[in-house]
Structure 1
Amino acid sequence: MTDALRTEGSGPLGATVSWAAARRAGLVRSWKDGSLSIPARVFVVVYVFLLFCIPSQLVIRPLGAPGTPANLWGILALLWWLLATLGGRNPVRGFTPTRVSVGLLVGAVLASYVAGNAAGWYSPADIRQSTDELWTLVAVPADQLNATMISAADRGLLSVAGWAGVVLLASEGLRTSHELERVVGWVVGFGTFVAALGIVQYFTAYDIAALFTIPGLSANSDFGEVVSRSVLNRVSSTAVHPIEFGVLLAGVFLLALHRSLFAANRSWILRWLPTLVIGTALPMSVSRSAILALALACAVVFVGWPARWRIRGLLLAPLAVVGMRLVAPGLVGTIRSLFGNLGDDPSVTGRTADYSAVLGLYTEHPLLGRGLFTFVPRYYRILDNQMLMTLVELGAIGLAATLVFLGTGVYLARAARRRLTSERERHLALVLSASLVGVVLSYLTFDAWGFPMVAGSTFLLVGLAGAAHRLSLEPPLGAVDARLPSPAAPVGGPS
Structure 2
Amino acid sequence: MTAPGPRNPYALRRPPHAPAAGDVVSFLTVYLILTLAVPSYLTLSALGSMGRPSTLWALLGLFWWFFERLRRTTRLNAGSRAVRWILLLFLAAVLVSYAVSNLQGIPPSESSPADSGMLRVAGWVGIALLANDGISSPGRWLTLVRRLTLISGLAGLLGLAQFLAGQSLLEWLSIPGFSADGGHEVSSRGDFIRPSGTATQPLEYAVVLSMALPLALTLALTDKDRSPAARWLPAAALALACLMSGSRSAFIGAAVGVLVLIPTWPSAVRIRVLGALTVMLGLVYVSVPGIAGTIRGMFQTLGNDSSSLSRTESYVVAAEIASRNLFFGRGFGTFLPNYRIFDNGYLTALVEVGLAGLALLVLLLASGVWAALSTAYSLAPPRSLARALGTGLAAAILAGAVLLSFFDGLNFPISAALLFLAAGLAGAYRGLARAHPGFPEPGLGMFQPGMAGPGVPGPAGRLPGKPSPSGEQ
**TM-score, length basis structure 2:** 0.85
Q: Residue 12 of structure 2 corresponds to which residue in structure 1?
A: none
Q: Residue 397 of structure 1 corresponds to which residue in structure 2?
A: 356
Alignment of 1:30-69 (within 5 A): 38-69=22-53
More divergent stretch after superposition (462-471 vs 210-219): 210-219
Which residue, 78, 84, 98 being the options, matches 2:62? 78
Amino acid at match of 1:439: G
Task: Judge conservation of contact 2:371–2:427 (CA < 8 Å) in 1.
Answer: yes
Q: Residue 20 of structure 1 corresponds to which residue in structure 2?
A: none
Amino acid at match of 1:65: S
Q: Residue 137 of structure 1 corresponds to which residue in structure 2?
A: none
| Change in 2 beyond 3 A, CA 1:327/1:465 | farther
Alignment of 1:209-224 (within 5 A): 209-223=170-184
Q: Residue 246 of structure 2 corresponds to which residue in structure 1?
A: 286
Q: Is 1:105 the equivalent of 2:90?
A: yes
Q: Residue 325 of structure 2 corresponds to which residue in structure 1?
A: 365
Which residue, 193, 204, 215 being the options, matches 1:244? 204
**Secondary structure in structure 2 of the residue aligned to 1:369:** coil
**Secondary structure in structure 1 of the residue aligned to 2:435:** coil
Q: Residue 159 of structure 1 corresponds to which residue in structure 2?
A: 120
**Secondary structure in structure 2 of the residue aligned to 1:117:** helix
| Change in 2 beyond 3 A, CA 1:257/1:373 | same
**Secondary structure in structure 2 of the residue aligned to 1:342:** coil
CA deviation after TM superposition for structure 1 residue 271, in Å? 3.0
Which residue, 432, 441, 453 being the options, matches 2:393? 432
C-alpha distance in 2 between matches for 1:327 and 1:85: 55
Task: Judge conservation of contact 1:208–1:237 (CA < 8 Å) in 2.
Answer: no
Which residue, 186, 189, 196 being the options, matches 2:157? 196
More divergent stretch after superposition (153-162 vs 83-92): 83-92
Which residue, 438, 444, 447 being the options, matches 1:482? 444
C-alpha distance in 2 between matches for 1:90 and 1:384: 45
| Change in 2 beyond 3 A, CA 1:168/1:253 | same
CA deviation after TM superposition for structure 1 residue 333, in Å? 2.6
Alignment of 1:339-488 (within 5 A): 339-378=299-338, 380-421=339-380, 422-476=383-437, 482-483=444-445
**Secondary structure in structure 2 of the residue aligned to 1:166:** helix
Task: Judge conservation of contact 1:176–1:477 (CA < 8 Å) in 2.
Answer: no
**Secondary structure in structure 1 of the residue aligned to 2:188:** strand
Task: Judge conservation of contact 1:358–1:392 (CA < 8 Å) in 2.
Answer: yes
CA deviation after TM superposition for structure 1 residue 220, in Å? 1.3
CA deviation after TM superposition for structure 1 residue 193, in Å? 1.5
CA deviation after TM superposition for structure 1 residue 414, in Å? 0.9
| Change in 2 beyond 3 A, CA 1:374/1:90 | farther
C-alpha distance in 1 between matches for 2:179 and 2:289: 37
Q: Residue 15 of structure 1 corresponds to which residue in structure 2?
A: none
CA deviation after TM superposition for structure 1 residue 413, in Å? 0.6
Deviations 1:227-248 (A, max 9, x none): 2111212111211101111221
Task: Judge conservation of contact 1:66–1:155 (CA < 8 Å) in 2.
Answer: yes
CA deviation after TM superposition for structure 1 residue 479, in Å? 11
Deviations 1:284-332 (A, max 9, x none): 2211111111111111111233344334434443333223323433223
| Change in 2 beyond 3 A, CA 1:327/1:176 | farther
**Any gaps of 5 or more consecutive residues in structure 2?**
1-14, 448-473
Q: Is 1:227 the equivalent of 2:187?
A: yes
Amino acid at match of 2:62: L
| Change in 2 beyond 3 A, CA 1:255/1:89 | farther
| Change in 2 beyond 3 A, CA 1:89/1:250 | farther
| Change in 2 beyond 3 A, CA 1:57/1:473 | same
Q: Residue 255 of structure 1 corresponds to which residue in structure 2?
A: 215
Amino acid at match of 1:455: A
Q: Is 1:116 the equivalent of 2:77?
A: no
CA deviation after TM superposition for structure 1 residue 211, in Å? 4.3
C-alpha distance in 2 between matches for 1:258 and 1:91: 34
Q: Is 1:300 the equivalent of 2:265?
A: no
**Secondary structure in structure 1 of the residue aligned to 2:336:** coil
**Secondary structure in structure 1 of the residue aligned to 2:108:** helix
**Secondary structure in structure 1 of the residue aligned to 2:237:** helix
**Secondary structure in structure 1 of the residue aligned to 2:193:** strand
C-alpha distance in 2 between matches for 1:345 and 1:438: 23
Task: Judge conservation of contact 1:84–1:90 (CA < 8 Å) in 2.
Answer: no
CA deviation after TM superposition for structure 1 residue 359, in Å? 2.1
Alignment of 1:138-153 (within 5 A): 146-153=107-114
Task: Judge conservation of contact 1:321–1:332 (CA < 8 Å) in 2.
Answer: no
Number of residue pairs matched?
A: 429
Question: What percent of counterpart residues are identical?
Answer: 33
Q: Residue 14 of structure 1 corresponds to which residue in structure 2?
A: none
C-alpha distance in 1 between matches for 2:104 and 2:145: 44
CA deviation after TM superposition for structure 1 residue 484, in Å? 6.5
Deviations 1:198-240 (A, max 9, x none): 11111112342344322222111222x5321112121112111
CA deviation after TM superposition for structure 1 residue 42, in Å? 0.1
Which residue, 267, 282, 290 being the options, matches 1:322? 282
C-alpha distance in 2 between matches for 1:171 and 1:343: 39
**TM-score, length basis structure 1:** 0.81
Q: Residue 8 of structure 2 corresponds to which residue in structure 1?
A: none
Amino acid at match of 1:165: G
C-alpha distance in 2 between matches for 1:411 and 1:269: 32
**Secondary structure in structure 1 of the residue aligned to 2:67:** helix
More divergent stretch after superposition (72-81 vs 150-159): 150-159
| Change in 2 beyond 3 A, CA 1:393/1:173 | same
C-alpha distance in 1 between matches for 2:390 and 2:235: 18
CA deviation after TM superposition for structure 1 residue 70, in Å? 0.8
C-alpha distance in 2 between matches for 1:111 and 1:438: 29
Task: Judge conservation of contact 1:233–1:284 (CA < 8 Å) in 2.
Answer: no
**Secondary structure in structure 2 of the residue aligned to 1:112:** helix
Amino acid at match of 2:379: L
More divergent stretch after superposition (202-211 vs 278-287): 202-211
| Change in 2 beyond 3 A, CA 1:479/1:395 | closer
CA-based RMSD of the aligned residues comes to 2.4
C-alpha distance in 1 between matches for 2:386 and 2:446: 10
Name the structure, 1 or 2, with higher relative contact order (CA <8 Å, separation 6+).
2
C-alpha distance in 2 between matches for 1:451 and 1:253: 20
Q: Residue 336 of structure 1 corresponds to which residue in structure 2?
A: 296
C-alpha distance in 1 between matches for 2:233 and 2:120: 34
Task: Judge conservation of contact 2:167–2:193 (CA < 8 Å) in 1.
Answer: no
